[in-house]
Structure 1
Amino acid sequence: MTDNLQLEQLVAACHWIGAKGWAPATGGNMSVRQDADWCWLSESGKDKGSLTTADFLQVSIADNHAPSGRKPSAETGLHTLIYRLYPQANAVLHVHTVNATVLSRVEKSPALLLNGFEMQKSLSGQTTHLDTVPVAIFDNDQDIDALAARIADYAQTNSLRYGFLLRGHGLTCWGRDVAEARRHLEGLEFLFECEMQRRLLEKP
């Protein structure tokens, strides 16, 4: 169950994300689970670097309904999907970083494979750089219900442990609380930047 402290920590994470330029031009969306039935999700069209707790809407995890009548983020259905798929997920961060956006288009396979980087250990459960960490990539879609259905189908037989990429769009990641989601975001973004530089330097 999420208390007010988690929402305040999410607001602080949003300010940090905004300061890094990872959610430009009101892009991105963030949420935190309230309980089994509800989450708090950032309102559409808001600058993530200046959000307050008042800029988050209560949203039903089952059907995306917002009792306030205000407009939640366009990607609401992806947040609620993650909360339904993973009961242990209590915070979700969606960002539009350059590295995530570009890599998601450069990599043509269904997943970006990360291997050999010590910072893989920033991801929960990873204990060595020798493991290969797959980050699934899904084609972007303006039909969020259809996109959520494709992700749900994938998750039935594949692991989505930390997050996924949307082609030409960005990264969605999560954690057991805001602190873990923030660590996963920072760790994955570092890994994406390393992978980008590796590919540039190794290019013939």
Structure 2
Amino acid sequence: MWDELTEAKQLFSARHWFPGTSGNLSMKVAEEPLSFLVTASGKDKTKTTQEDYLLVNADSKPAYTTHLKPSAETMVHAEIYKKFKKAGAVFHVHTVYNNLISDLYYELGAVEIENIELIKAFNIWEEGAKIRVPIVRNYADIPLLTEEISKVLDERVPGVLIHNHGIYCWGNNAFEAKRHLEAFEFLFEYLYKRLLVS
């Protein structure tokens, strides 16, 4: 799991999806009791070290004594794992396009995307398929942010946008979470550029 997280971190970092020290990644280690690896807070994600991740429990606390702090938004990861038992990985990135789309559609509470091939990445195969990606307010209070995200989680659409912040997406494993994230980012970029030429 450590290697899978590192591979994802290096790939997303190369795409500039972790500006500053933003973003976080996790993978579930056990379901009962819940435990998962999550990125340590404040780390430069362009570098790889032996202290990039730590194991936390269902309360988002380190599972052992360590000087490392889990990412500030670890509680969101825990909520997704609790809500969706099959979820095995949760990825959170900050990109220009997911921020733009979250702002442009914020007042609607969601962005609807339809009839684009990449929707199939979410195992939605019907012709002319439509998805609705929810957008929540960017609360600085992480428990409140987690509560608002929990209200809009949809098993069919594995992603939630946070207004002017970023996206959380998940999958049954790291490969699936990566596929979902790449599809969302393609769709957001497509949608924004389509608006420019409308």
The bucket for the TM-score relative to the shorter chain is over 0.9
In the superposition, the TM-score normalised over structure 1's length comes to: 0.90
Higher percent of residues as helix: 1
Indicate yes or no: 2:13 matched with 1:14: no
Q: Tell me how far apart the structure 2 counterparts of residues 74 and 24 of structure 1 sit (CA, whole Å).
A: 16
Q: Tell me how far apart the structure 2 counterparts of residues 152 and 160 of structure 1 sit (CA, whole Å).
A: 14
Indicate yes or no: 2:174 matched with 1:178: yes
Q: Mark the CA change 1:80 to 1:130 in structure 2 (over 3 Å): closer, same or farther.
A: same
Give the conservation status (yes or no) of the 8 Å contact 1:11–1:53: no
Matching residue of 1:88 = 86
Cα RMSD (Å): 1.4
Matching residue of 2:44 = 47
Q: Tell me how far apart the structure 2 counterparts of residues 164 and 136 of structure 1 sit (CA, whole Å).
A: 5
Matching residue of 2:74 = 76
Q: Tell me how far apart the structure 1 counterparts of residues 76 and 164 of structure 2 sit (CA, whole Å).
A: 16
Q: Tell me how far apart the structure 2 counterparts of residues 75 and 131 of structure 1 sit (CA, whole Å).
A: 32
Task: Give identity over the alignment, percent.
Answer: 35
Question: Counterpart of 2:44 in structure 1: which amino acid?
Answer: D
Give the conservation status (yes or no) of the 8 Å contact 2:4–2:174: yes
Q: Tell me how far apart the structure 1 counterparts of residues 50 and 115 of structure 2 sit (CA, whole Å).
A: 39
Give the conservation status (yes or no) of the 8 Å contact 1:44–1:72: yes
Q: What are the ranges of 5 or more consecutive residues in structure 2 without an aligned counterpart?
A: none
Give the conservation status (yes or no) of the 8 Å contact 2:149–2:160: no
Q: Mark the CA change 1:159 to 1:110 in structure 2 (over 3 Å): closer, same or farther.
A: farther
Question: Structure 1 residue 110: deviation in Å?
Answer: 1.1
SS at match of 1:146: helix
CA deviations 1:72-99 (Å, max 9, x no partner) are 1111110111011111100010000100
Give the conservation status (yes or no) of the 8 Å contact 2:19–2:94: yes
Question: Counterpart of 1:43 in structure 2: which amino acid?
Answer: A
Q: 1:137 aligns with which of 135, 138, 146?
A: 135
SS at match of 1:46: coil
SS at match of 1:105: helix
Matching residue of 2:24 = 29
Give the conservation status (yes or no) of the 8 Å contact 1:104–1:165: yes
Matching residue of 1:112 = 111
Question: Structure 1 residue 68: deviation in Å?
Answer: 3.0
Q: Tell me how far apart the structure 1 counterparts of residues 197 and 65 of structure 2 sit (CA, whole Å).
A: 51
In the superposition, the TM-score normalised over structure 2's length comes to: 0.92
Question: Structure 1 residue 7: deviation in Å?
Answer: 2.5
Indicate yes or no: 2:164 matched with 1:165: no
Question: Structure 1 residue 54: deviation in Å?
Answer: 3.3
Give the conservation status (yes or no) of the 8 Å contact 2:94–2:166: yes
Q: Tell me how far apart the structure 1 counterparts of residues 43 and 127 of structure 2 sit (CA, whole Å).
A: 38
Question: Structure 1 residue 46: deviation in Å?
Answer: 0.9
Question: Counterpart of 2:93 in structure 1: which amino acid?
Answer: V
Q: Mark the CA change 1:182 to 1:147 in structure 2 (over 3 Å): closer, same or farther.
A: same
